[in-house]
Amino acid sequence: MTVGAEFSPVVGIAVAVSGAAIGAVSARSIVAEADAHRWDRPDRWWGPECDRCDCELDWTLLRCTDGHRHRTANVVIAVVTAALFAGIPFAIPSPWLIPAYWWFAYFAVLLTVTDIDTKLIPNRILLPGTVGGVILLVAGGVIARDFEALLRAGVGGAAYLAVMLLLALIARGALGLGDVKLSFLLGVFTAYLGWGHLLVAGIGSFVLGGVISILLLVTRRASRKDFIPFGPFMTSAAILAVLFGDAIVTWYAG
């Protein structure tokens, strides 16, 4: 049973609307920190600023107060984050897990953007994402008294980490150490929901990676010599697993 079924329509709408609002506000922080890494500046977790005049971006994230134009990707980040925060409460088994999975979504989006921009998964982002996420998930899981799910989350995170470490050792260069370290966070948050979710996240990252790499090559947006970072496929597949894991597993099994 999903938690969405337990919300009355009025509460459900309130949860979705406040989720979208909190997600949109969080996107300001994501843009600030992603830009800090893109421009190789010190961490900046709040108040996205302009690289040309150092004043803040307005609420659209497209212009600074001096009128300099900023990338359209900022709007995509805001819309995706708002949608994730609105949808996540309906995909998880207990409202106590909402803070943990919002935290997870925040860092999944931030790591995706940073990996696309810099081809790196910085420890400065991954460490607080993993530590904070585990703390919030354990707290939520204990309050919800779902110890089986917590155990599965721990085993799942370790299993995903072990498989990626093995693959990184075999396929030297294609997978970075950042991808390996990232797999623990993704494994924990998908395995908490079920083994099927973990499989969707793990296998899905290679399916997405294969399909999108071929598309990039065919459309000549990338050449064979280009390095295509793998992290964004891992984060995307994990997000899809969290939101639609039940449906994907049911579809695959039946």
Nearer to Zn ion, 6 or 58 (CB): 58
Which of 4, 68, 128, 228 forms a contact with Zn ion (CB under 5 A)? Answer: 68
| Min dist. Cβ of residue 71 to Zn ion (A) | 13
Q: From 32-40, 52-60, 96-104, 241-249, give the range in contact with Zn ion by CB under 5 A.
A: 52-60
As a whole number of angstroms, the distance between CA 51 and CA 36 comes to: 9
Residue in the shown chain whose Cβ atom is closest to Zn ion: 50
* Residue 70 or 152 with smaller CB distance to Zn ion: 70
- Buried b or exposed e, range 206-228, using 16+ CB within 10 angstroms: eebbeeebeeeeeeeeeeeeeeb
Cα 192 from chain centre = 15
Q: Binding of Zn ion at residue 50 (CB under 5 A)?
A: yes
Position 58 contacts Zn ion (CB under 5 A): no
Contact 184, 202 (CB under 8 A): no
Question: Cα separation of 64 and 196, whole Å?
Answer: 44
Q: Out of 6, 58, 66, 148, name the contact with Zn ion by CB under 5 A.
A: 66
Q: What is the rounded distance in angstroms from the CA atom of residue 7 to the CA atom of residue 40?
A: 44
Among 15, 20, 27, 64, binds Zn ion (CB under 5 A): 64
Q: What whole-number distance in Å separates Cα of residue 246 and Cα of residue 196?
A: 8
**Given the complex with Zn ion, which of 41 and 124 has the nearer CB atom?**
41
144, 196 Cβ separation under 8 angstroms: no
52 binding Zn ion? (CB under 5 A): yes
Using CB under 5 A, pick the residue from 53, 151, 169, 207 that binds Zn ion: 53
CB atoms within 10 A of CB 41: 11
Q: Which is nearer to Zn ion, 15 or 64 (CB)?
A: 64
Between 58 and 66, whose beta carbon lies closer to Zn ion? Answer: 66
Instruction: Enumerate binding residues for Zn ion (CB under 5 A).
Output: 50, 52-53, 64, 66, 68
